[in-house]
Chain A
Amino acid sequence: MVETFGKKATRHGFSDGLIALGEKNPKVVAIGADTACSVLINKFAQKFPERFIQVGVAETNMIGIAAGLAVDGWIPYAVTYSMFATGRPWENIRNTVCYSNLNVKIGGSHSGITVGYDGATHQALEDIAIMRCIPRMTVVVPSDMVEAKKATIASADIAGPLFIRFGRESEPIFNKEDTPFKIGKAVTLREGKDVAILACGSMVYESLVAAENLEKKGISAKVVNVHTIKPIDADAIVKSAKECGAVVTAEEHQILGGFGSAVAEVLVKNHPVPVEMVGVRDTFGESGNPSELLKHFHLKDADILNACEKVLKRK
């Protein structure tokens, strides 16, 4: 059994991290777009009302205001559903925030398929892809609530634009308070020699479960939590490929342009090995209960296990 410490959504970790930052740094500001209660920055707003800005349903303006605040020396966190935090204002993020290299942090909540019942319009499955392709942008995808808090606190130390992705749904907590976290540095959670599973976000836990089940079948799987998609930890990826000779990537996101693509970009240049990718397969989401959606879109531990068996045949 994978050791866990209860269940909680990564948005709680972000919320706690933001409050910790607010206490530590009087320059930290939060901006909401009529979703403060869902993305849980309402807690920051209650604690630091003078440093909370509500812009209403206007995400492009939210990013522009964040840019202006950054020019003025603040550290703004612009936070709403990831679909609208990244998709709607994408060009403003590119041309105003990143081209100006401004210290703007974008929090994308309710990401992935697990936002569930709201359906395809609200399920951000392309946000990693569209954020990581912009020069100067850092992209962080924490794997559980504990890591989300650490990642949020660490995000303030990155001078420049940063996107942090988190989710609505309660998910198992497996990271500990003392699990090391450094932006850009992947964490090996389990050693193995036959296949390396590289995962981000909610798929890290699924990968750990898959690795346990693989062990029962006599297959030794390494599991690496690649919480930073950009700058990606190329050393850790290449090392995993060298050790295992086969790689499976797992993400709650489109395969096209996402985390799997980022890993493949590293491998083809440095150490090509067979790769299988678990993720959403170039399709839109659906309404439904998050766990049935994860099954429907092949995002469960069993799908990762199948991908491992498939990639092993290609070794």
Chain B
Amino acid sequence: MEIHELEQISLRIRKNIIEMLCQAGSGHPGGSLSSVDLLVSLYYTQMNFDPKNPKDPKRDYFVLSKGHGCPTLYSILAEYGCMHEKELCTLRQYGSKLQGHPGMDKGIPGIEVSTGSLGFGLSVAVGMAIGSKMAKRPNRVYALMGDGELQEGSIWEAVMSAGHFKLDNLCGMVDWNQLQIDGKVEDVMGIDPLVDKFRSFRWEPIEIDGHDFKQIIDAFKKAKATKGKPTVILAHTTKGKGVSYMENVCDWHGKTPSQEQADKALNELK
């Protein structure tokens, strides 16, 4: 797929996110918007996933460890045909399949496991990668983490084990937008030097601009070609990317736009 096509998809996803969150009246715009380009690139250039056969044992796995970013995933899965686009506006509402954080038991194809409690997704991805290797299947496993999420100790248990088991079928991604609920990640609890940390845990780190499609796709290619160790794509992103008044503003982590604010955002996303 050409980069200009990916850009168009990302634009649609961002519009959906704004509309969904405005309608829902609660949710997480900042970290949803920052991860759009990463996930669009993943789903449209890498993932072997057929919504008509969502339990195909040969499928690639994706785990949204930062479960609060689910509007992005829901929106991509709707584009994929895993649900009707109309369902997106039911996000977080009573009776909806689109829970505030992904619930696997709601039966949306492509939601492999419930996530939302931070720090657990990478372990699940490690289990999937070990299982795939035991079964000698060539599929790949992807997991998206937030940067604030890396403060969870369980993440580093998982990081240590993936390096130990040489899981070269595993590709981690960090949505490195540098903000979390209480402020800047570096002020709340510093995670640097991230590249060195992953390298010392026997991973191959790739540092990129998480909004540059060429860099993202090149990183995925490099990850695929890396043998004997897992890869992590450390993607510098902008929280609230694409909506001027949300960009790099911590407050938009967990606040939703009013109708007026949403209209302004949708105007910008043209």
Stretch at the interface among B25-33, B77-85, B127-135, B253-261: B127-135
| One of B63, B132, B158 near A61 (C-beta < 8 A) | B158
Q: Using Cβ atoms and an 8 Å threshold, which residues of chain B touch A29?
A: 134
Given A69-B131, A92-B154, A99-B103: A64 touches B117 (CB 8 Å cut-off): no
B: contact size bracket: 20 to 34
Contacts of A96 in B (CB 8 A): 113-115, 117, 120, 123-124
Q: Which of B112, B115, B121, B127 has the most CB of A within 10 A?
A: B127
In the complex, are the beta carbons of A71 and B120 less than 8 A apart?
Answer: no
Assembly CA distance A101 to B107 (angstroms): 12
**Cβ-based interface call for A128 (8 A):** no
Q: Report B-chain residues with C-beta under 8 Å of the C-beta of A65.
A: 123-124, 126-127, 130, 161
Query: Please, which residues of chain A bring their CB within 8 A of the CB of B116?
Result: 95
Q: Is A58 an interface residue (CB 8 A)?
A: yes
Taking CB atoms, residues of chain A closer than 8 Å to B154 are 60-61, 64, 92
Given A99-B104, A99-B114, A102-B113; A69-B128 close (CB under 8 Å)? yes
Interface string of A55-93 (1 = CB under 8 A from B): 110101101111111111110100000000000000110
> Pick the contact of A68 from B123, B135, B157 — CB < 8 Å?
B123
Residue on A nearest B127 in the bound complex, by CB: A68
A14-64: which residues lie under 8 A (CB-CB) from chain B? Answer: 29, 50-51, 53, 55-56, 58, 60-61, 63-64
Q: Which residue of A lies closest to B131 (CB)?
A: A72
Q: How large is the interface on A (under 10, 10 to 19, 20 to 34, 35 or more residues)?
A: 20 to 34
- Give the distance in Å from the alpha carbon of A55 to the alpha carbon of B158 in the complex: 9
Q: Are B123 and A60 touching (Cβ within 8 A)?
A: yes
> When each residue 143-156 of chain A gets 1 if its CB lies under 8 Å from chain B and 0 otherwise, what string results?
00000000000000
B residues near A95, Cβ cutoff 8 Å: 114, 116-117, 120
Contact yes or no, B126 A58, CB < 8 A: no
Flag if A66 contacts B127 (CB, 8 Å): yes
Q: How far is the CA of A68 from the CA of B112 in the complex (A)?
A: 9
Interface-central residue, B117, B131, B135, by most chain A CB under 10 Å: B131
Q: How far is the CA of A71 from the CA of B135 in the complex (A)?
A: 13
In the complex, whether A270 has a CB less than 8 A from a CB of chain B is no
Interface of A is mostly: helix
Say yes or no: A73 contacts B57, CB within 8 Å. Answer: yes
Is A100 an interface residue, CB under 8 A from the partner?
yes
Residues in A with CB closer than 8 Å to B158 are 61, 64
Residues of A near B129 (CB, < 8 A) are 68
B131 touches A64 (CB 8 A): no
**A96-120 near B? 1/0 per residue, CB < 8 Å:** 1001111000000000000000000
- Which residues of chain B are near A73, meaning CB under 8 Å? 57, 131, 135
A71 touches B113 (CB 8 A): yes
Q: Which has the most chain A C-beta neighbours within 10 Å: B125, B130, B164? A: B130
Complex contacts, A53 vs chain B, CB 8 Å: 130
Taking a contact as CB atoms under 8 Å apart, the answer to whether B135 and A72 are in contact is yes
Could you tell me which A residues sit within 8 Å of B by CB distance?
A: 29, 50-51, 53, 55-56, 58, 60-61, 63-74, 76, 91-92, 95-96, 99-102
